[in-house]
Amino acid sequence: MIVNGKSTFDATRKAVETGASTVERVTGEFLEGIEKRKRLNAFLSVFHEKALAQARVIDKKIAEGRAGMLAGMVVAIKDNLCIKDEVVTCGSKMLQNFVSLYDATAVRRLRDDDAVIIGKTNLDEFAMGSSTENSAYGPVLNPVNETKVPGGSSGGSCVAVAAAMSHTALGTDTGGSIRQPASFCGIVGLKPTYGRVSRYGLVALASSFDQIGPFANSVADAARVLQVIAGHDEMDSTSVDVPVPDYLSFLNKDVKGLKIGLPREAFGEGLHDVVRSAIEKAVDKLRECGAEIVEIGLPHSEYTISTYYILMTAEASSNLARYDGARYGYRSPGVKDLTEMYVKSRSEGFGEEVKRRIMLGTYVLSAGYYDAYYRKAQRVRRLIQNDFLNAFKTVDCILMPTAPTTAFNVGEKANDPLAMYLSDVYTVSANLAGIPAISVPFGTDNKGLPIGVQLLGKQFDEGTILRVGDFLEE
């Protein structure tokens, strides 16, 4: 059920429960939507028959009163998450024909709760990027304005939700790849606490940063997806065994008495005025309704981008060492010896940005520079984590922009990696600190481009940021 071009699960659920529609029909509507909006390039594979077959089974379960919590929800999956017997390209030529042998835990849990899996979405190659222009399968366009990027790296998942091609989607967030596109396309994007959601079946980018999370058209739908995918998994030893609360119980609450921190460092140079004034409006709304706004300091903020790009490239370079032409994916044809196989397979299989990061990461890990870069960045990461620990002694959550600007033009930053990296200035800190963060749409600029506000919470306290996000949601 698509209302005003948006597709929240509530409307569908009601229609399905009252018999006004069926899961099969809803799935068919989304499949049509995907067909109609092909030029946005959001999907890399669409599961036409499989999705409809799954929908029919769920309709039967609903009729028999034994359907799961997500019965009737249609979900798209970022193509760096494994689905058994389906190709997982990671947006790379390297894995063009690589078929997964098993399901990612998050995907399996969605399916077990009767969500329909509709297809796999486009992304920056190996999730490296902030605009979804780095995919080997072509860029994704922003549905609000097609001359703009949708943000990245989970651009396809974000656009699937923003342009009514699914109710919700899974993305992954290593340095903002769920929140920044959500902000550029005007939807909700949530990065859970590191360890909240199992990473089993997620193709690793930077293992100490990566988290799986939802895109949705409402905070409530994001909460529903989180409810199902959260929790310990014995297949991922970094998934933490702490209780998963009832996330929906945090919604439709006021904000009276909540202490919300505004980091003074987040409002300096580089922040566009439209975004600044959106944050000010959000602050006014919160204050008027009884929240206490507290100015806080995150003194190491100026180091977040450099720290992130040293550590993430280091981790990425070692994670991507496995693509050597021997075991996985692409192998250059007609090579003479082993060395040539490595060199040619990697040179031909990887795109520019991936190569740039492998070289950077290899450099910062090399014997001569390890101390100066990698070790030092690890230490700064700790200082950044401590900044948040200190802040959370006095506040319940933190409010700041998701991105310094609204969506930029296609091609605008494609040849300027540093400018591209700077668009992550407000998102990477949550990944460095391992804390949860959500982007919620809050107004538009004068061209109608969406603005996102970001809420950051204490570790494992997704509840509070869902509560405040739900309150701010318009």
Residue bearing tokens 């019965």: 71
Residues of span 403-462 touching ligand GLN by CB under 6 A: 424
Q: Is 102 helix (H, G, I), strand (E, B) or coil?
A: coil
* CA angle (200, 205, 208) in 5-degree steps: 75
* Active-site residue flag, 191: no
Binding status of residue 312 toward ligand GLN by CB under 6 A: yes
Beta bridge partners of 78: 121
Closest separation in Å from C-beta 209 to ligand GLN: 7
Taking residues 224 to 263 in sequence order and writing x for each that binds ligand GLN by CB under 6 A, - otherwise, the string is: ----------------------------------------
Cα(first)–Cα(last) distance of the chain, in Å? 20
Among 41, 105, 130, 198, binds ligand GLN (CB under 6 A): 130
Q: Please choose, from the candidates 82, 34, 30, the residue with its C-alpha nearest in 3D space to the C-alpha of residue 52.
A: 30
Nearer to ligand GLN, 105 or 177 (CB): 177
Position 91, amino acid? G
CB 304 within 8 A of CB 432: yes
CA angle 423, 429, 432 (to 5 degrees): 125
User: According to CB under 6 A, which one of 7, 174, 218, 239 is a site residue for ligand GLN?
Assistant: 174
Provide, rounded to whole angstroms, the least separation between the CB of residue 128 and ligand GLN.
5
Of 131, 166, 177, 423, catalytic:
177
Q: Which residue in 79, 74, 330, 101 sits closest to 202, CA to CA?
A: 79
| DSSP 8-state secondary structure symbol assigned to residue 56 | H
Q: Is 313 in the site for ligand GLN (CB under 6 A)?
A: no
Q: Does 176 bind ligand GLN (CB under 6 A)?
A: yes
Q: Which two tokens stand for residue 32?
A: 């049509």
Point out which residues pair with 92 in neighbouring strands: none
Of positions 127, 162, 163, 438, contacts ligand GLN by CB under 6 A: 127
Q: DSSP state, 366? A: S
From 21, 153, 301, 439, active-site residue: 153
Does residue number 364 form part of the binding site for ligand GLN (CB under 6 A)?
no
CB-based closest residue to ligand GLN: 177
Contact 400, 279 (CB under 8 A): yes
Does position 213 bind ligand GLN by CB under 6 A?
no
Segment interacting with ligand GLN, rule: CB under 6 A, options 44-52, 167-175, 263-271, 451-459? 167-175
CA distance 130 to 123: 10
Cα separation, 296 vs 392, whole angstroms: 10
Cα(131)–Cα(414) distance, rounded to whole angstroms? 8
Q: In this structure, are residues 46 and 34 in contact, taking their beta carbons and an 8 Å threshold?
A: yes
From the DSSP assignment, how many helices (H) and strands (E) are in the chain?
15, 11
Q: What are the residues whose beta carbons fall under 8 Å from the beta carbon of 415, sequence distance 6 or more?
A: none
**Least distance to ligand GLN from the beta carbon of 123, Å?**
8
Question: Is 345 a residue that touches ligand GLN (CB under 6 A)?
Answer: no
Query: According to CB under 6 A, which one of 173, 233, 396, 470 is a site residue for ligand GLN?
Result: 173
Give least dist CB 462 to ligand GLN, A. 18
Among 157, 177, 193, 402, binds ligand GLN (CB under 6 A): 177
Which of 68, 143, 156, 175 contacts ligand GLN by CB under 6 A? 175
To the nearest whole angstrom, how small is the minimum distance from the Cβ of residue 415 to ligand GLN?
15
Note if 332 is an active site residue.
no
Catalytic residue status for 153: yes
Residue 31 contacts residue 46 (beta carbons within 8 Å) = yes
CA distance 290 to 282: 13
Residue 205 in the binding site for ligand GLN (CB under 6 A):
yes
Return the range that interacts with ligand GLN (CB under 6 A); candidates 18-26, 128-136, 253-261, 334-342.
128-136
Candidate list 7, 21, 78, 344, residue with the active-site label: 78
> 9 vs 126, which CB is nearer to ligand GLN?
126
Minimum distance from residue 156 beta carbon to ligand GLN (Å): 13
Positions that interact with ligand GLN (CB under 6 A): 127-130, 153, 172-177, 205, 312, 424
Just list the catalytic residues. Answer: 78, 153, 177
